[in-house]
Amino acid sequence: MALTPLEKARNKAAAKVRDRAYRARVGVMRRRLTKAEEAPDLLALKAQGDAFRAEENRLFAQRDDHIATLTRQIDTLQAQIKMLRAGTGISEVSKKRIAAYDAFHRQLSAARQHIKSEFPDLEGPAEHSASAWKPPAEVLAAMDEARKQVRSVTEVSATWATNASEDA
């Protein structure tokens, strides 16, 4: 249902009164807020907060400067480490070490081959096992003589026990 022109006029008049009263009330509140914000005790606290903010900003800037200085020092040290790792002095010594060990191993190998050439009967498995060794004739003869001298198993056990106690 639509409003009549009279009802519309009444509502308009009421809205004007409401709006004036609202503006007046808001105006009073805003003036009181402004007055409260300008109170000496609040202004002193704000000034104190502003001073702390300025000090804080100064400390942040000082910290950032210190971090930047340390970062530059770290970059310098990392560059020095990189140079040291790539240093030619160590690589020259490394080359000399490799050459020295190569010479050592060549001479050691030659000495071993020379000594082993003097013992051809100990080549291959015979170097590590007496059962794989082909003894020379004089050892074979001594082995046969030892077999002939044994009369019984108990005599061999007694001989081994005597030899073991003599070795200790």
Question: Does residue 156 surpass a pLDDT of 70?
Answer: no
Q: How far apart are the C-alpha atoms of 43 and 37, rounded to whole Å?
A: 7
DSSP code per residue over 33-101: HHHHHT-HHHHHHHHHHHHHHHHHHHHHHHHHHHHHHHHHHHHHHHHHHHHHHT-HHHHHHHHHHHHHH
Q: How far apart are the C-alpha atoms of 47 and 50, rounded to whole Å?
A: 5
Q: How far apart are the C-alpha atoms of 61 and 27, rounded to whole Å?
A: 43
Reported confidence tier of residue 154, pLDDT bands at 50, 70, 90: low
Domain definitions of the chain by residue range: 89-118
Q: How far apart are the C-alpha atoms of 30 and 32, rounded to whole Å?
A: 5
The arithmetic mean of pLDDT across residues 15-44, rounded, is 95
Per-residue pLDDT, 99: 96
**Each residue of 34-65: pLDDT tens digit?**
999 999 999 999 999 999 999 999 999 999 99
Amino acid (1-letter code) at residue 133: W
Find tokens 């006029």 and name the residue.
9
Per-residue pLDDT, 151: 72
Q: Which two tokens stand for residue 143?
A: 């082995």
Listed residue (109, 108, 138, 135) closest to 122, CA to CA: 135
* Range of lowest pLDDT (10-14, 58-62, 82-86): 82-86
Find tokens 């606290």 and name the residue.
45
Q: How far apart are the C-alpha atoms of 112 and 118, rounded to whole Å?
A: 10
Question: Does residue 4 surpass a pLDDT of 70?
Answer: yes
Question: Does residue 29 surpass a pLDDT of 80?
Answer: yes
84-101 burial, b at 16+ Cβ within 10 Å, e below that, comes to eeeeeeeeeeeeeeeeee
Find tokens 């100990």 and name the residue.
122
pTM, full prediction: 0.41
Share of the chain above pLDDT 70, in %: 92
Q: Which two tokens stand for residue 39?
A: 């109170």
Q: Which two tokens stand for residue 38?
A: 């300008």
